[in-house]
Amino acid sequence: MVENQLMPRGIKDIRVLDAMRKIPRHLFVDESMQYKAYDDTPLPAGEEQTISQPYMVAIMTELLELKGSERVLEIGTGSGYQAAILAELSGHVYTVERLGSLSKRAGEIIRALGYSNINFRVSDGTLGWPEEAPFDRIIITAGAPELPEPLTEQLSEGGIILAPVGGRFSQQLIKARKNNGELIRVSHTPCVFVPLVGRYGWKESL
């Protein structure tokens, strides 16, 4: 996966490549799909949600510019695969999922892998995690109509927020950095994520 998919497509951050070599992706995938766990494709994660394509996880993680000590907020725990990568590469991860069954399963897998620098919460992630704010990095792994305001408020000065932003069925990966209280936005690759459903996201599924 790392040699055939990620490196040829330009993922360069050694720490990201090492983390993706280390974390067993097949543990986060439905059992019936485990034979495809290292393929170049998104896969079902239960409850009609998906575990993102490895390349998308890699590019998003690289764009976060993690050095090792950051406090990271993730919205959309899903399978927990991205959260495990973040736990490997940052200081502490706070991950929020709206569906309790997914959060529970992700928590079990990640704890079994030995990570203790991660907290799980079941709630509407568009509201963030105010009790633990501010965060140095915020990553939304579901498609948002706009960057949710509570999240941009919970981002620290100099921090980075990353999210797929756009329509319900296709988005653009947006990276924004907080500079003197203002967000400087840069647009990256087009992408397709399941909708971010919540108060500052989309209404309940169609």
How far apart are CB 111 and ligand SAH at their closest, in Å? 16
Q: Which of residues 166-195 bind ligand SAH (CB under 6 A)?
A: 194
Q: Which of residues 53-72 bind ligand SAH (CB under 6 A)?
A: none
Counting contacts by CB under 6 A, is residue 75 touching ligand SAH?
yes
With a CB cutoff of 8 Å and minimum separation 6, the contacts of 38 are: 1, 25, 26, 54
Asked if 52 is an active-site residue, the reply is yes
Is the dihedral angle over the CA atoms 67, 131, 171, 165 positive or is it negative?
negative
165: closest CA among 181, 189, 182?
189
Judged by DSSP in three states, 89 sits in: helix
Contact 141, 133 (CB under 8 A): no
The catalytic residue among 52, 79, 90, 103 is: 52
Judged by DSSP in three states, 179 sits in: strand
How far apart are CB 93 and ligand SAH at their closest, in Å? 11
Q: According to CB under 6 A, which one of 5, 90, 126, 154 is a site residue for ligand SAH?
A: 126
The interface region with ligand SAH, picked from 11-19, 61-69, 123-131, 182-190 by CB under 6 A, is: 123-131
With a CB cutoff of 8 Å and minimum separation 6, the contacts of 200 are: 126, 127, 144, 146, 148, 149, 150, 151
How far apart are CB 48 and ligand SAH at their closest, in Å? 8
Binding region for ligand SAH (CB under 6 A): 45, 49-52, 75-76, 78-79, 81-82, 96-99, 102, 124-126, 141-142, 194, 196-198, 201
Enzyme catalytic residues: 52
